[in-house]
Amino acid sequence: MANPLSILLRPAALSYRVVVQLRNALFDHRLFKAWKSPVPVVAIGNLSTGGTGKTPLVDWVVKYYLSIGCKPAIISRGYRRESKGVQLVSDGQDILISSKEAGDETAMLAWNNPNAIVMVANKRKDAVTALAKRFAKRLPSVIILDDAFQHRQIHRDLNIALINISEPFFKAKMLPEGRLREPLKNLKRADLVILNKISDPKKADAIEKQVEKTGLPIIKARLKTAELVCISGAFITSEEARSMKNINAFAFAGIASPESFLESLRQEGVTIAAHRFFNDHEPYSVKKLQAICREAEAKGLSLITTEKDYFRILGSPYLIRIITARPCYYLKIETDILEGKEKLQEMLRKVVSGQ
């Protein structure tokens, strides 16, 4: 039986689809033209909203470029940031603004890649222009556009699309009825496709057969836990800080796929005694965090959140003080390329080699 809400939202989804396809047609027929950046561009994005593992992939790509001696710059919208216009988050030497002004994911990328230039802007072209002026004497080797598959105003030298294989790929629906930003057929606009969050190879194989029809290179990847980082010293033993096992936790997160966060913790041996989810990128309030801490204290639980949530909270010193009154951790995750790493690296190198 069809979901009544889905039926109500279907006309809006159909209208949205028409608008998206019209816009794409204008670019495809060059009535709208993409602007050419003075620096080579790699765009990383997806067809759906959130939950594809895009930020860890951006981090992986940045670290790869740094490892081969390139100077990367990251440009993002800085979703739900409290600042306006173009903001320089990091100049490749110092972090210049907080996660409130930069956005949680952008701040996280800047802190994890201190040698990369990081900027946020509502209009990415404005950020590229500002970057080229600010760093005219030391231009970066490559610009990585974060969450930019739908952003066609800037020409890209490599266009990467992610697919979360844990989502209903074949039955996906357009916004607002579903989570698709544009129809699946538009995947052909990519230069390569990354099938991400693979835990069931059989499910990945079924989607891979469909994607193979596009003729695009396919990379297979998953997200894996990196480490559990202690952010409050009180009540924590050195053994706990080294291992996730035998930790009884209250887990909380405001991300697109919180269930995968819980599953990652369980796989590492963490006991989830309680949890609370919020909307993706939802700002934390004093009231929300105090309620979490009270429940954790009453049950004798440690707090565990995601790295992205930690950076969102980090923008407010008062909120940090609330959660660090308890033993508190955040979980780092990273992209693990299962198949096609050499192909991905080859295509990334071509962007900066001028081939």
Separation between Cα atoms, residue 75 and residue 78, nearest integer Å: 9
Q: Does domain 4-222+336-353 have CATH number 3.40.50.300?
A: yes
Residues whose CB falls within 8 Å of the CB of residue 337, separated by 6 or more in sequence, listed in order? 60, 219, 220, 221, 344
At 155, the pLDDT band (50, 70, 90 cuts) reads very high
- Cα atoms in the 13 Å half-sphere on the side-chain side of 190: 26
pLDDT in tens, 256-268: 888 889 988 988 8
Strands 158-164 and 41-46: parallel
CB-CB neighbours of 214 under 10 Å:
15
Q: Whole-prediction pTM value?
A: 0.92
pLDDT attached to residue 174: 87
Kindly state the percentage of the chain with pLDDT values over 70: 95
pLDDT in tens, 277-308: 999 888 899 999 999 999 999 999 999 999 99
pLDDT in tens, 167-206: 777 778 888 888 889 988 999 999 999 999 888 777 788 8
> For 315-341, what is the mean pLDDT?
93
At 235, the pLDDT band (50, 70, 90 cuts) reads very low
Instruction: Identify whether the C-beta of residue 299 lies closer than 8 Å to the C-beta of residue 326.
Output: no
Alpha-carbon torsion angle 230, 233, 235, 236, nearest 10? 40
Q: In the chain, where are the structural domains located?
A: 4-222+336-353, 233-326
pLDDT attached to residue 27: 94
pLDDT attached to residue 332: 93
Q: Is the pLDDT of residue 238 over 60?
A: no
- Classified as helix, coil or strand, 162 is strand
CA 286 vs. chain centroid, Å, equals 25
Residue 75, phi then psi, degrees to nearest 5: -125, 130
